[in-house]
């Protein structure tokens, strides 16, 4: 099972759903830290929508021995306001119980993509998502690596200033990632970047470059 694999691989923790972790909590909760993902997409609604549904509560996660809870918010989606309120409340309760909180901060809106460019992973849009995530007291932010910038400017919405792009960042991938870190209270809140899609033989070169 996934928990046994995580232990064998020397992972620091294992993150999964209520069902997976509850099924194995008696055997494994004392052997590896559990992170319960309290919301996720049910993938049955057609057409699919950018929503994350709560499948349990923080107290349930605590009762099965978890040390942390994780959640996803789709910033920019129609459901994002509700998700923000739900997860802010859940994170507050988690901290009261001494648990850590991890937020998957992803952008989702068809208008974030133009004919010329997809800005879902732009440094400015993801940076704002990070800022909102740390505002609701996430201890760790999980975000996609930025691939471009100028999302707010080119889509013509939100609040931005040219200084954001000229003085605080550049087109270099390290600077784009640094802008994300700056939006996590200048690095006071941890940032984990997901690896992104595989491009085949160029994966290693891309990893070294960034």
Q: Please identify which of the residues 49, 115, 142, 144 carries the catalytic annotation.
A: 142
CA dist., res. 70 & res. 93, Å (int): 13
Q: Which residues of 162-172 are buried (b: 16+ CB within 10 A; e: fewer)?
A: eebbeebbeee
Q: Which helix (H) or strand (E) holds 174?
A: helix 173-182
Residues in the chain: 210
Q: Which two tokens stand for residue 46?
A: 């057609």
Instruction: Report whether 125 contacts 93 (CB < 8 A).
Output: no
For the question of residue 142 being annotated catalytic, the response is: yes
Name residue, tokens 């997809």: 118
Residues known to be catalytic = 142
């Amino acid at each position: 099972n996934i928990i046994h694999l995580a232990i064998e691989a020397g992972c620091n923790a294992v993150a999964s759903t209520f069902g997976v972790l509850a099924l194995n909590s008696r055997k494994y909760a004392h052997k590896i830290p559990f992170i319960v993902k309290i919301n996720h997409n049910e993938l049955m609604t057609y057409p699919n929508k950018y929503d994350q549904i709560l499948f349990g509560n923080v107290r349930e996660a605590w009762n099965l021995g978890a040390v942390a809870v994780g959640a996803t918010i789709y910033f920019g989606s129609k459901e994002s306001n509700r998700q923000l309120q739900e997860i802010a409340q859940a994170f507050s309760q988690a901290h009261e119980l001494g648990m850590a909180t991890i937020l998957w901060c992803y952008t989702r809106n068809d208008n974030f993509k133009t004919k010329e460019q997809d800005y879902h992973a732009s440094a400015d849009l993801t940076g704002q998502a990070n800022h909102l995530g740390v505002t609701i007291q996430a201890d760790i932010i999980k975000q996609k690596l930025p691939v471009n910038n100028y999302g707010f400017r080119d889509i013509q919405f939100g609040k931005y200033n040219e200084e954001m792009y000229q003085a605080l960042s550049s087109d270099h991938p390290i600077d784009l990632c640094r802008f994300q870190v700056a939006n996590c209270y200048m690095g006071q809140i941890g940032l984990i970047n997901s690896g992104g899609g595989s491009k085949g033989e160029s994966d290693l070169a891309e990893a070294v470059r960034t």
